Amino acid sequence: MKIALINENSQAAKNELIETTLRKVVEPQGHEVFNYGMYGAEDPVSLTYIQNGILAAILLNSGAADYIITGCGTGEGAMLACNSFPGVLCGLVVDPADAYLFAQINDGNAISLPFAKGFGWGADLNLAYIFEKLFDGESGQGYPQDRVVPQQRNKKILDEVRQVAFHDLLTILKNLDQDLLKGAIAGQNFRTLFLAHAKEGQLKDYIVSLL
């Protein structure tokens, strides 16, 4: 699995800690981690939580990433931004139980973490435990056992509803403020990572035309 990490400006100083913790947990499982920044508080390319959502949608819909780890101060803004786009199903995760239940019940492809709220002593441990539970076996298996069938049925219904509710991502991107969009893909490593991992197609072609 290709896991992408995205940080916005208010919490960019924590990028190294988050990346290190994430790699420590998921790389032994065979997953790959790709850090799309921001890479620190002084990173010249500044991302808002809104641009986190745009970038998450581009990466997931293009196949450049299979899973997104993002967040903001409370986690709420980045979660809402991610869920504004097709192909992104993002949960707000505060603790390891949230991570496990979101993976097993909702079977999403992105999480948003509160990197300021409650992020104090032991934060690195909480992050590690969250990542452990998030990627604990195959997702979408349901929990508890007696709720597996309705939960899996409801997830399929939600997917169908979302297909009706959203335009295709390429149409959305073309109608967005182009400066906002270009800012979301302006990170120093975006071009290298995106070109190497995105699938060929109209979405990739459009993003490349903006670089």
Pair type for strands 67-72 and 110-114? parallel
CATH number assigned to the domain covering 2-210 = 3.40.1400.10
The pLDDT score that the predictor gives to residue 120 is 87
The pLDDT score that the predictor gives to residue 143 is 87
Q: What is the pLDDT of residues 167-186, one digit of tens each?
A: 899 999 999 999 999 999 99
The pLDDT score that the predictor gives to residue 149 is 92
Q: Range with the lowest mean pLDDT among 4-8, 59-63, 70-74, 157-161? A: 157-161
Please work out, in degrees rounded to the nearest 5, the angle formed at the alpha carbon of residue 158 by the alpha carbons of 147 and 56: 115
Q: What is the pLDDT of residues 91-147, one digit of tens each?
A: 999 999 999 999 999 999 999 999 999 888 889 999 999 999 999 989 999 888 888
Burial, 75: exposed, middle or buried (Cβ in 10 Å; 0-12, 13-18, 19+)? buried
Q: Which helix (H) or strand (E) holds 168?
A: none
DSSP-assigned states of every residue in 47-92: --HHHHHHHHHHHHHHTS-SEEEEEESSSHHHHHHHTTSTT--EEE
Burial, 166: exposed, middle or buried (Cβ in 10 Å; 0-12, 13-18, 19+)? middle
Q: Range with the lowest mean pLDDT among 63-72, 122-131, 147-156? A: 147-156
The pLDDT score that the predictor gives to residue 93 is 97
The pLDDT score that the predictor gives to residue 16 is 96
The pLDDT score that the predictor gives to residue 146 is 87
Confidence of residue 15 (pLDDT cuts 50, 70, 90): very high
The pLDDT score that the predictor gives to residue 115 is 95
From the CB of residue 103, how many other CB atoms can be counted at a distance below 10 Å?
23
Q: What is the pLDDT of residues 21-49, one digit of tens each?
A: 999 999 999 999 999 999 999 999 999 99
The pLDDT score that the predictor gives to residue 167 is 87
The pLDDT score that the predictor gives to residue 148 is 87
The pLDDT score that the predictor gives to residue 173 is 96
